[in-house]
Amino acid sequence: MTVEERQLGFQVVLLHMQQHAAQLPGNWPQAIAHFLKVTQSYGPHLFFCYQVPDLPRTNNDLEQAFGQVRFHERRATGRKGALPGLVVHGAVRVQAALASRLQIFTAQQLVPHDVQVWRDLRAQVSFRQESRCKQSRFRRDPATYLADLEAKLIKESLRS
């Protein structure tokens, strides 16, 4: 069954629900109206699992995939909890961990095809990492962190 056939079948079911909702007793009409509203907002994204090969089909499958990544990260590092780096570098590390289970990549396949996209991704990861470092410094010594921040702001205001 193609993606288009699945989407069409789903639309038929939704239309059938909409047409017969008023005939149902109790709170069913309101529940169906809410379901149709939510489904309309999520509708375009419901069938990605059929368009992208090897994408987990359900939330449980997706959660299991993320759990496997966390499990292997903990095993590799010896830490009990989730790694802070997995949060900072998650967009890169989780994708790399999941993709490397499906196939072994050659050096040629790992070369970035679009250098600007790669640089943008590196900038995002660096920004998140810097943000985590600032949070850590603040938690370690809030008074010193705020004093440094205040000094920088005063210095900036004196320049202009």
Q: Of residues 100 and 147, which shows the higher confidence score?
A: 147
In the chain, where are the structural domains located? 3-51, 57-110, 112-160
**CA separation for the pair 136, 142 (Å, rounded):** 10
pTM for the model: 0.50
If one counts every other C-beta atom within 10 angstroms of the C-beta of residue 69, the result is 20
Report pLDDT digits (tens) over 81-122. Answer: 767 766 666 667 777 888 888 788 888 888 888 999 989 988
CA 85-65-103 angle, 5° bins: 90
72-78, long-range: CB < 8 A, 24+ apart: 72/97, 73/97
The per-residue pLDDT for 88 is 63
Enter the tokens of residue 127.
């920004």
Q: Buried (b) or exposed (e) across 80-114, using 16+ Cβ within 10 A?
A: eeebeebebeeeebbeebbeeeeeeeeeeeeeeee
pLDDT band at 150 (very low <50, low <70, confident <90, very high): very high
Report pLDDT digits (tens) over 23-54. Answer: 999 999 999 999 999 998 887 788 878 888 77
